[in-house]
Structure 1
Amino acid sequence: MTILMSLDPMALFRSMPGAFAQGLVWGLMALGVYITYRLLDFADLTVDGSLATGGAVAVILIRSGMHPWAALIFAFLAGMAAGFITGILHTALGIPGILASILTQISLYSINLNIMGSSNQAVSVDKYPLVVSLRYISDSSATKVQLFVTCVLFCVAVVALLYWYFGTEQGHAIRATGCNRQMSRAQGINTDFHTVVALMISNGLVGLSGGLYAQYQGAADVNMGRGAIVIGLAAVIIGEVLFGKLCAGKHFAFAYTMFSVIGGAIIYYIVMNIVLWLKLPSDDLKLFSAIVVAIFLAFPYLKSKYGRKGVSVNG
């Protein structure tokens, strides 16, 4: 009771813009996880490394004089390269997908250290015109609005491009590969090629998110991607649980689903901010993250299980 009385509701309110902005940035990473986890049915753990790779590449290029927007393109390409490695290990060398992604993730730790030359590199908003920055939230209302408009439009543009791409022949082939690999082969689809392409697109989005996140927090760190797969899965599951019925049966259902994933990332960070606001031990934040993900993962199963029981009993 004493702890609850000491809590400041205004402090929680002031933290919400930061949670919303961070959710939008990480929502791009969650879209990458959605492509492998849902569309391709591939357990890809590369994201923990490729997120840091995108951040490292973006920060080093910005510090070398490249414009922050252009640096994001190379962050995307660096993420695609990481996905390509995982895809080749899996398709060409026959290594199981989860092991191939772990091998890539481990190797990326050393690669990221070599890219940055140290465990972290800072990039100050005072020296560079960063696309997004945490400082923009605490500055004037004009910069705060500019930050959110930039993030929202960026996410809308990415979703629009993905919606167009997965409506093409190659996009449908990727979705068919994830749905039924044997049947896809029987229809003449090169499943290995499309698996590699999907992994490249997925990790390209993760690298892009890493480049944005490094600018947002003002630094790239070799450990900044640790636990990213948990956040990505949380966003996907939260989006499906909370917005799944809204997406079903609509003409643009696939686009709605992708927006729901971004919405799931925002809700995840709002929940994490509430956890911090409650003054729970910060050392246990990863534990709380795992609990939140477990709850949302279990919710559809428990709902279907006990929902059916309720129907049978009532019937």
Structure 2
Amino acid sequence: MSLFAFMGTLEIGLIYALVAIGVYITFRILDFPDLTVDGSFTLGAAVTATAIVGGINPYLATVMGTISGAGAGMVTAWLNLKFNILHLLASILTMTALYTINLRVMGKPNVALIMEPTILTPFSVFGLANMYMNVIVLFVIVLIISALVIWFLNTQYGLAMRAVGSNKRMAQANGINIKQKVYVGLALSNGLVALAGALFAQTNGFADSTMGIGVIVVGLAAVIIGQTLLPSRLMLIIIVSCVVGSILYRIAVSLALNADIIGLKSSDLQLITAVLVSVALILPKLKNDFKARQAAKADSGDSDD
């Protein structure tokens, strides 16, 4: 892998780290399988790109994209909580609607940002090559967002949200407003995903109506890989594992696509993702089975004595 390809892989890995953190909040903390992210990722990119092309400041445009994604998450929560629609179905409905909404926002299938200013433009004065500067800026953004998420989830409100995902009945018995926590959790999750979409559009120079396809799988892959390598209940380690998992996932994909001996093409990306997620899910089970067999052998040896 060339240096240019490696830096590009780090860049995308850092962007998808925000997706991984968002997916962790819904799937692990709230126990809410949310597929809205496939649509909110594109929504964040579409709103941001359209706003920038319309002459709005890139930083304000990025905030607008993030807020739009948070709104999409709240729609999913509203469908689930207000009308008792199954969470998975509610998220699918929102995701399906967002495809058309994204096209409406952009007015066409894609919007180019190549000649437009972005949040990265002011940093060009430092004279570093784009491939280095983009990674540095994205690393700082991910570091700040991660720190804020860790702080939030360790506050009293964040602990209450985590309690909702662990045991809703117990949380309700302790006076926790479950619906409010679900609304906030899904808004936070999809806001992070939309922010990732906004950053992706600005670093890659375009927003496309199909760019969100498979984002949920990428986010899950990052979470699973990260938590397999860094298992912990400490929130700091958990968020770090999401970031590490995202970067390692992108490196694995890049290595697979660039390994001539394997013969894979860019069109095989979804297959690679499926294989990586399957391996990440299977390995912990094999590890636990091995430990169980070792413990059984040890117990049988003690009984013989």
Q: Could you tell me the TM-score, scaled by structure 1's length?
A: 0.89
Q: Which residue of 2 aligns with 1:257?
A: 238
Q: Which residue of 1 aligns with 2:290?
A: 306
Out of 108, 116, 132, the residue aligned to residue 127 of structure 1 is: 116
Paired with 1:298 and 1:203, the residues of 2 have a C-alpha distance of 28
> What is the correspondence of 1:71-110 to structure 2 with a 5 Å cutoff?
71-110=61-100
Aligned length: 293
Check whether the contact 2:53–2:116 (CA below 8 A) recurs between aligned residues.
Answer: no
Structure 1 ranges of 4+ moved more than 3 A: 11-14, 140-145
Check whether the contact 1:12–1:274 (CA below 8 A) recurs between aligned residues.
Answer: no
Q: Which residue of 2 aligns with 1:4?
A: none
State the AA in 2 paired with 1:226: I
Q: Which residue of 1 aligns with 2:302?
A: none
- Deviation of residue 142 (structure 1)? 4.4
DSSP 3-state at the match of 1:258: helix
Paired with 1:119 and 1:201, the residues of 2 have a C-alpha distance of 27
State the AA in 2 paired with 1:304: N
Output one character per residue of 1:140-190: Cα deviation in whole Å (capped at 9) or x when no partner. Answer: 744433222211111111011112212222211110100000111111111
Out of 193, 209, 225, the residue aligned to residue 222 of structure 1 is: 209
Q: Which runs of 5 or more structure 2 residues have no equivalent in the other structure?
A: 300-305
Paired with 2:130 and 2:207, the residues of 1 have a C-alpha distance of 23
Check whether the contact 1:12–1:273 (CA below 8 A) recurs between aligned residues.
Answer: no
Counterpart check, 1:39 vs 2:20: no
- Deviation of residue 119 (structure 1)? 1.0
Out of 3, 7, 10, the residue aligned to residue 20 of structure 1 is: 10
Higher mean alpha-carbon deviation, 262-271 vs 159-168, is at 159-168
Higher mean alpha-carbon deviation, 62-71 vs 106-115, is at 62-71
Higher mean alpha-carbon deviation, 12-21 vs 253-262, is at 12-21
Paired with 2:148 and 2:241, the residues of 1 have a C-alpha distance of 16
Output one character per residue of 1:42-101: Cα deviation in whole Å (capped at 9) or x when no partner. Answer: 100000000000000000011011222221111110010000000000011100100000
State the AA in 2 paired with 1:66: I
DSSP 3-state at the match of 2:230: helix
Check whether the contact 1:35–1:202 (CA below 8 A) recurs between aligned residues.
Answer: yes
Q: Which residue of 2 aligns with 1:239?
A: 226
Paired with 2:216 and 2:70, the residues of 1 have a C-alpha distance of 17
State the AA in 1 paired with 2:12: Q
State the AA in 1 paired with 2:120: V
Paired with 1:130 and 1:254, the residues of 2 have a C-alpha distance of 29
DSSP 3-state at the match of 1:226: coil
- Deviation of residue 130 (structure 1)? 4.2
Q: Which runs of 5 or more structure 1 residues have no equivalent in the other structure?
A: 1-10
- Deviation of residue 12 (structure 1)? 4.2
Q: Which residue of 1 aligns with 2:303?
A: none
Higher mean alpha-carbon deviation, 276-285 vs 29-38, is at 276-285
Counterpart check, 1:289 vs 2:267: no
DSSP 3-state at the match of 1:92: helix
Check whether the contact 1:235–1:262 (CA below 8 A) recurs between aligned residues.
Answer: yes
State the AA in 2 paired with 1:127: E
- Deviation of residue 304 (structure 1)? 0.7
Output one character per residue of 1:254-305: Cα deviation in whole Å (capped at 9) or x when no partner. Answer: 1221011011100011011011102413322211111111110122122112
**RMSD between aligned alpha carbons?**
1.7
- Deviation of residue 106 (structure 1)? 0.3
> What is the correspondence of 1:64-213 to structure 2 with a 5 Å cutoff?
64-124=54-114, 126-131=115-120, 141-213=128-200
Output one character per residue of 1:238-265: Cα deviation in whole Å (capped at 9) or x when no partner. Answer: 1101122xx45xxxx2122101101110
- Deviation of residue 311 (structure 1)? 2.6
Q: Could you tell me the TM-score, scaled by structure 2's length?
A: 0.92
